[in-house]
Structures are given as structure tokens and as C-alpha cells.
Amino acid sequence: MQARQVEAPLRKLMGPGPLNIHPRVYQALTSPVIGHLDPAYLKVLDQIGDLLRMVFRTKNRITNAAPGTGTAGMESCVANIIEPGDPVLVCVQGYFGDRIRQMAERQEAKLTVIEGEWGKPVDPETLEKELKKNSYKVIGLVHAETSTGVLQPMAEIAGLAKEHGAMILLDTVTSLGGVDVRIDDWGVDAAYSCSQKCIGCAAGLSPVSFSERAVESVRRRKHPVRSWYLDISLLDKYWGTERVYHHTSSSTLNYGLLEALRLIEEEGLEKRIQRHTLNHKALVAGVEAMGLEMLVSPEFRLPSLNTVKIPAGIDDVKVRSYLLDTYNLEIGGGLGVLKGKVWRVGLMGYSSSAENILFFIAAISQALALQGYKTDVAAGLSAVTKALDK
């Protein structure tokens, strides 16, 4: 019996990630495989570092794409700047803030957690009270909480961290490349993201950036970094001028990432951020005009990931299954305490488009109608077009 070729279905991806990617990135991903120490490939890694500095808005020398998904980037930041006994403060406002907490626990940090309401940002006053009570080496928090759709205002928190001499460890997984991220201005010491969201590539790489203060902290460690693979001092010897073999870096993924970063450079980072913001506002206008509600208050909404409340009596799984089976449309369900309560609608990178917004409004209206929930789809579509025209 002849083996059949496996074909992935062509989906319209509007969940929390991965998202659809630009045709040029697909083409780059078909580049010939070459060695991880090939001089031509090492130039690619240098270019990726330069372009990531532009997107992170940083001058940090150690800025490149670590192997693995965004979770690997999180683990790299946590494992490098936290060691046993370090006083660490983690702000948990959602699923991924809690993941930072879990990783810090595994490093045997002296851990304090500020627990906040899912769907709201970290309260600077609460943070300030804790910083006045105790001294901390690291403050860990999420800039763009993928589980709730909250964008964390950073200016006040950055000021508090500087005032109290604490390093900032920041999750930019769902913000980098689509939302304003300012690593140097905020004084962030360790930041990580991923390749498959606003950056616009396939999953498998995690952009990271370490300040000189963070690097010095790694040099002064009393214990070796517990993760050999993600030890930034070893990765630096591969990314930097020494070119010491570390791992078999994927030329396939890195060529794709380079092309995605080139697309950001060509569009212009400011214009790209404006596009994500405009499309977010258009989606919200359509959702609210058709009679649905958003979870997050307007001033804290994350443009790249929109959380829509599921109406009472609606079966979440049936809606998402219908969208996938009928329209090849993928949206995300809720995580943790928000499971069954929200839909997570992603507008990131190449997938942040007017076409996708209009498609979603029409499709979700039909999915809800099949469960007896009526929406004003005409009003929703009209609100989208009016918002986009502005």
C-alpha cells in the first residue's frame, strides 16, 4: 500500500498563536538547510540580532533568538538571572504570570507572589507597598498577558523597579513586533518573546535580550545556571565573535525569522504598531456593535489578543468546533479561570488584517445563531468598516 503524503489543512488562524504568516516567510522557510557554523549562516544570526535590537528597542549586545518556543525564552531568562535563595517578586495576573512563578520556584528562589484579578493589570500601588517592605533582586511580570488580553502599562512599574534597585524580567511573547516594547527605556534586564505571534514566523524560536546588568549577574552567580542548554553565557559564545559550537541551530527557522524581521523593518515598526492598534479597535467596534462584550477595560486592552466574553448559555466548544469545521477558522478558548468564559481572538503580524476581522464577525454571528443567540451582524460589519475608514 502506497503511503499518502500528509497534508496540513489550510486554516485561517485567529487564535493566540501560531498565526498565518506572510508568503515571503513561507518561501524563506524552504531555504536549503546549511550547517550551523557555515559562515553564510553565521551572518544570518548577526542580522537577526541587529533586527531584534530594533524591535526590542534596545542596545543590549546579547539579543538574539534562543532555540525553542517562547516558553524556552521564559526558562532562559528565569534560569539565568535567578538562583537558589534569590529574593524574587512575581506578579501573577493570568496563566503566564503563574508560569513565571512556577519556574522561579524550580530555581529555589525566595519567592513572593502578588496575586491579581485575571483581566486586570498589576496595580502599581500594591507593587510599591511590597517593594517598601522587602528588597528584591528580580521582579517578574507579563507585558502582554495572552490568557486575558491585558496590556500592562510599564512606565510606573519601571520607575518603581529602578527606585528599589530590582531587575525586571519581562514576558513580551504577545507584544513584541505588534505593540510598543521599550526594553532600554523601561530598564528591563531580561526579556523574551516568540517567533510565531506578532513577529510573524513559525513557532520554534524565542527572541531574548539581556542587559549588561543581567549579564554581570550571571557572571557573579554562586551556582552554575541549572539549564546547560539555555545558559546565556554559553549561547553568547555561539552568537558572539567566538563562534563556539553550542547546539545544532535550525537554519530553516532562522531564515524564516530573518525574513519576518525584514518585513517588520520594511513596514516600519511604528506603522506596524499603528496597524495592530487600528485593527484591534475595528474588531472591538464590530464585536460590541453586534451585541457582544469584551473582558478587559478599554485602557488596558492588548491590541494583538482580544478577549471576547462568551454569552450565557453558549457552548464554547461547539462554537469553536463549528468555526473550525465549517470555515477553517481557528480562535482560542479561555485558560485557567477563564476557561469557557472567553474567546481569545488574535490579530497578529500578517493575520492582523481587515479581511480577517470582517470574516470573524460574519462567522461568529452564524455560529451563535445556530445556538439560538441572535446578533446584529449588519451593525457589526458596519462598525468595523467605519472604524477602519477612520
When pLDDT is cut at 50, 70 and 90, the band that residue 7 belongs to is confident
| Mean pLDDT (whole number) for 148-163 | 98
Residue 272: the pLDDT is: 98
Residue 6: the pLDDT is: 82
Instruction: Quote the CA–CA distance of 162 and 98 in Å, as a whole number.
Output: 23
Q: What is the pLDDT of residues 354-380, one digit of tens each?
A: 999 999 999 999 999 999 999 999 999
Residue 4: the pLDDT is: 76
Whether 347 and 127 have beta carbons less than 8 Å apart is answered as no
Q: What nine digits make up the cell of 252? A: 530553516
Question: All domains of the chain, ordered by start, with CATH?
Answer: 23-266 (3.40.640.10), 268-389 (3.90.1150.10)
| pLDDT above 70 coverage of the chain, percent | 99
| Mean pLDDT (whole number) for 178-185 | 98
Residue 164: the pLDDT is: 98
The H-or-E segment that residue 205 falls in is strand 205-210
Shortest CA distance to 174 belongs to which of 209, 202, 199?
199
| Mean pLDDT (whole number) for 12-21 | 98
Shortest CA distance to 177 belongs to which of 150, 195, 189, 155?
195
Instruction: Quote the CA–CA distance of 209 and 188 in Å, as a whole number.
Output: 9
Q: What nine digits make up the cell of 105? A: 520556584
Residue 1: the pLDDT is: 59
Residue 93: the pLDDT is: 97
Whether 132 and 163 have beta carbons less than 8 Å apart is answered as no
Q: What is the pLDDT of residues 266-277, one digit of tens each?
A: 999 999 999 999
When pLDDT is cut at 50, 70 and 90, the band that residue 89 belongs to is very high
Backbone angles phi, psi at 278, to 5 degrees: -60, -45
When pLDDT is cut at 50, 70 and 90, the band that residue 5 belongs to is confident
| pLDDT above 90 coverage of the chain, percent | 98
Whether 168 and 186 have beta carbons less than 8 Å apart is answered as yes
Q: Is residue 390 pLDDT above 70, yes or no?
A: yes
